[in-house]
Amino acid sequence: MNARHLSEIINKIIQPAKGILAADESLATITKRFESIRLEPTEENRRAYRELLFTTPGLSQYISGIILFEESLQQKTTSGLSFVQCLEQQDIVPGIKVDKGLIPLVNVENDKITQGLDGLTDRVAAYKSQGAKFAKWRAVFQVSPKPSSLAIKTNANSLGMYAAICQHHAIVPIVEPEILIDGSHTLAECAAITEEVLRSVFKALAKHNVLLEYIVLKPSMVLPGKTAVTQNSISEIAQATIGVFRRTVPAAVPSINFLSGGQSPEQATAILNAIHQLSNQPWNLSFSYGRALQDPCLKIWEGKTENNLKAQQALLKRARLNSAAMLGSYDSSQEV
């Protein structure tokens, strides 16, 4: 393990008022996104869209790292520059999604586990040689119904193994335990499951000798289910989120970069802002949003080159607003 190299990467990712753009959609996911704008999901359209995102003028003012999908790691801009080189020229750190998606947990109803540990050591080494500096592994947990203890432990152990492999290769691991927003669960029920999951995850990280100083935690905010009778206020969500994290996340973790998890762009930004208006916390509190940054951009783009500039401006606006939220200075009037 090269601690100095890991420290250098962490320091580049954790910059004041900057976050991470998640652009690591699988082929199945980006196909769904393109279907929403009636665009054929060809390889060239995928490449063109990623180039649109990665070449947005001024993006590095608010974005310190971008998570790529395996396909994007090998693609180039129309000028022949690799996407990795394109990002590095802007002082944006390139990362890579390394998990292979979800599969059902055998003999356990409703629960899923993340696959991808087979061959991960070789893949991480290959990704590093292609320029990736950090990686991401996503585990998923539902609240309604409650996940089994087996699902929690299995996913936590996979996160621990993945993180250890990454650090061995001097790749910073993003540890992503996502609590799904689907369902009618209450804020309190989400808080209880989030706390149980995070305790299990950090126990697994310790078991696999992962150095917490060289990871990024990418968790969900504590939220009521989308169909819950009571939809709590932004302030209540922020307080519940920080309450759970102060009980479960060691101060050694340098950065918590929240995922947006199906929230609207405006809600994800507003909650991040409310979190930063609470008293000082021991971690850098940032964002690693996918849809909450990209959706306005994608809807404007529609696969048409004449819309490129306006689409990039929409992406830049969302990045800027989330940067403001990290300073606790976001206001809904800025959405206009």
Q: How confident is the model over 108-133, as pLDDT tens digits? A: 888 999 999 999 999 999 999 999 99
> Is residue 317 flagged as an active site residue?
no
| CA-based nearest residue to 259, from 98, 93, 138 | 138
For CA atoms 64, 70, 73, 78, the dihedral sign is: negative
Q: Quick one: how far is CA 191 from the chain centroid?
A: 19
Query: Which are the contacts of 127, defined by CB distance < 8 A and separation ≥ 6?
Result: 70, 73, 96, 98, 135, 171
pTM: 0.97
**Can you identify the CATH homologous superfamily of domain 3-325?**
Aldolase class I (3.20.20.70)
Q: What is the pLDDT of residues 262-321, one digit of tens each?
A: 999 999 999 999 999 998 899 999 999 999 999 999 999 999 999 999 999 999 999 999
Determine the pLDDT at residue 88. Answer: 97
Q: 218, 226, 304, 317: which one is catalytic?
A: 218
pLDDT, mean of residues 148-155: 97
Q: Is the pLDDT reported for residue 103 higher than 90?
A: yes
pLDDT, mean of residues 237-260: 98
Determine the pLDDT at residue 279. Answer: 80
> Is residue 70 flagged as an active site residue?
no
Q: What is the pLDDT of residues 163-190, one digit of tens each?
A: 999 999 999 999 999 999 999 999 999 9
3-class DSSP state of 200: helix
Determine the pLDDT at residue 122. Answer: 98
Q: 51, 70, 176, 189: which one is catalytic?
A: 176
pLDDT band at 139 (very low <50, low <70, confident <90, very high): very high
The answer to whether 169 and 123 are in contact (CB under 8 A) is: no
Percent with pLDDT over 70 in the chain: 100
Percent with pLDDT over 90 in the chain: 97
pLDDT, mean of residues 186-200: 98
Determine the pLDDT at residue 336. Answer: 81
Determine the pLDDT at residue 333. Answer: 92
| Domain limits, the chain | 3-325
